[in-house]
Chains A and B, each alone.
Chain A
Amino acid sequence: MITGNGITKTFRQRGNVLAGRDVQALRGVDFAIAKGGAASFIGESGCGKTTLGRIIAGLETYDAGEISIGGTPMSGLKPKQRQPHFRKIQMIHQDPYSALNPTRTVHQTLQAPLALRAKQTGRSRQWMDERAAEVLALVGLDPGTVLSRYPHQLSGGMRQRVVIARALTVDPEMLVADEAVSMIDVSLRLGILALLKDLRERLGVSVLFITHDVATARYIGDDGELYVIYRGQVVERGPVDTVIADPVHPYTQSLLSAIPVLHGLELPGEQPVVPLESLDESQPDTGCLFARRCPFRTERCEGERPVLGRTECVPQEHACFHPERRSVVARPMSEV
């Protein structure tokens, strides 16, 4: 179980032409990911989803709030003491081309973390070789053919599998996949998504999926939670299929309305939501962060900021004064 409470992060820009402008990347975010569970963070670039993922993986500091891993709060611990906790959380990056050292074979890539592991637990070289073959088999690669290869001899999909295998060498409890399929060829994407789902089911690894592509977020499992993040605030949160089928926050609705419709296979949603203007972070926000772009804003939205919570008749949490269901998602023609 990994939980976060009120995570806040502000990036201060110093020493350049933009000096003095602070960027509030996260404004008090709460999350909870159960052991073996799944969650997806979605939002546009710059919304803070990647920063949050990096904080969860221990790669970034945060200004305020608390992260607990397995019930242990991290803030009271010294960096050395935190290390074994954060090692349980492994990151899978977007670009499998730069995530692997081009001068190392797959065998060498996997041996480095395994050697550390073997030293800690007093295991033999033979165990390292067995374990390397085991993790490759887990990600659907044939150890015999892949171990001696260099990254440039593998396709994008195979490379991403090697990256995942490397993460598995340390027996992680959670994988943080940041846009892990966006650079993979379309015909192979589902294979990687299915692998992440499969690892959840077989090994009980929880998966945190960070993406701007809402549709891929469904494929980590239907018990997953979806967090819609806008400018550092979670604006809607709930079970993946509930939020996609019945979104209530106008921002979620805008995101879903913007997804291309496969004409010929699908019919567009009946009430698409188009934001009024483009994102402009230079102006101060007194009320709801989305108010200036929101077609349904009222006076209240401009003066007061809604907080994430539940209201009657809406199964998911949301941060909107005027939650209303709208049919925005394209429907398959076969169902009409």
Chain B
Amino acid sequence: MPHPASSQAPGVRIDGLTVVYKTPAGELPAVRDVSLTLEPGTITGIVGESGSGKSTLALSLLNAVQPPGRIAAGSVEIDGLGDVVGLSGERLRKARGAHIGYVFQAAQNSLNPLKTVGKQLLDLGRSHGVDDLRGLVREARELLGRMGLDGARVLDSHQHELSGGMRQRVGIMLALVLNAHVVVLDEPTTALDMITQANILKIVREVHAERGLTTLVITHDIGVVAEVADRLAVMYGGRLVEQGPTREVLGAPRHPYTRGLIQAIPRLVGDIDEARALPGRPPTLATVPTAGCVFRERCALRMDVCETDDPAAVAHGTRIVACHAVKVREHA
């Protein structure tokens, strides 16, 4: 897929990122030693189940992990901005919105129920010191129009007057209106209907290409990533277990978790007995193993080394996989 405006899209390099949460049992890692590069002008999708650390990773891009959590190690380098982990105070606040746009889950009601969308837009403009508020409103109206909404009407509406799909588009508008070029979408279509979901995903793809963005989509739904993302990264128990070009990962998954996850998706056609649930259950912050592979409890390829050594993320061509079993087969 060509990205005509990718010249201005910034790259993002997450390196060795570890985020810990303080609990009565000590500091436990929700994200452990994650390295991920978002190439300029691409859409990357992160897939994971609840508790995999995907939302914590997304918040780290804004350096917005709330206490009791903290970024314990690693860096998030964004072109034209530097290491976000090192930013603080006013500089960090300005970077959010101006450099990095964040689209929250529609169901989370991220809009203020007491103010019209237009008032919230003006608040956003003032807090970022925008002088030309009229221009900002014009830009917002154009963006909403681009997404198939009546801009003037939406800006005059309160959130309860908008449907789920409309709210989601308002969220995308608010993330982009300050001209951010790195955009994070957290569960962009959860709680939306199928047809609305297809609509939003189409808009995400188009706006991404038109504005020259670097986009990160966080979701539990592989279908969403399959529709929009160029690259796919799979998270489990705070670790990135596999990443690579979406089609390649879906067509030939290497990590046993990726394979199990794809096999567990209910499909519309084909033999229904081929789909199988993964045994066991995903780990939580408290039950994730501190040593060895995080997936071994549910893994069919479990070996002795998995008990003691956490597999390193190793590149195999365009694919990066963290699994002892995959390495063995490669060398055999």
Contacts and interface: CB of A to CB of B under 8 A. Distances in A.
Interface of A: 44-45, 155-158, 185-191, 193-194, 212-216, 218-219, 222, 244-245, 254-265, 274-275, 278, 329-333, 335
Contacts of B227: 260-261, 263
A219 B266 contact: yes
Given A186-B265, A187-B264, A254-B195, A218 B272 contact: yes
Contacts of B292: none
Given A186-B261, A215-B266, 11 more contacts: A45-B193, A189-B266, A189-B277, A244-B269, A255-B195, A257-B198, A259-B194, A259-B198, A259-B223, A260-B224, A263-B226
Contacts of A274: 198
Contact of B220 (A185, A213, A264): A185
B49 A214 contact: no
Contacts of A194: 277
Contacts of A258: 194-195, 197-198
A200 B224 CA distance: 32
A260 B223 contact: yes
Contacts of B265: 186, 215, 262
21 contacts: A44-B196, A158-B281, A186-B261, A187-B260, A187-B261, A215-B266, A216-B266, A219-B275, A255-B195, A258-B197, A259-B194, A260-B221, A260-B226, A261-B223, A262-B226, A263-B227, A264-B247, A264-B249, A265-B262, A275-B195, A278-B165
Interface in B241-299: 246-251, 260-262, 264-270, 272, 275-278, 281-282
Interface of B: 49-50, 163, 165, 193-199, 201, 220-224, 226-227, 246-251, 260-262, 264-270, 272, 275-278, 281-282
A187 B194 contact: no
A78 B193 CA distance: 39
Given A187-B49, A187-B282, A259-B223, A264 B264 contact: no
Contact of A193 (B199, B220, B224, B266): B266
A255 B198 CA distance: 10
B242 to A, nearest CB: 14
A223 to B, nearest CB: 12
Contacts of B262: 262, 265
Given A261-B226, A262-B223, A186 B264 contact: yes
B266 A263 contact: no
Q: Is the interface of B mostly helix, strand, loop or mixed?
A: helix
A156 B281 CA distance: 9
A274 B193 CA distance: 14
Contacts of B275: 190, 219
A63 B251 CA distance: 51
Given A218-B268, A258-B198, A157 B226 contact: no
A190 B222 contact: no
A16 B275 CA distance: 48
Nearest to B252: A264
Contacts of A262: 222-223, 226, 250, 262, 265
Contacts of A216: 266
Nearest to A45: B193
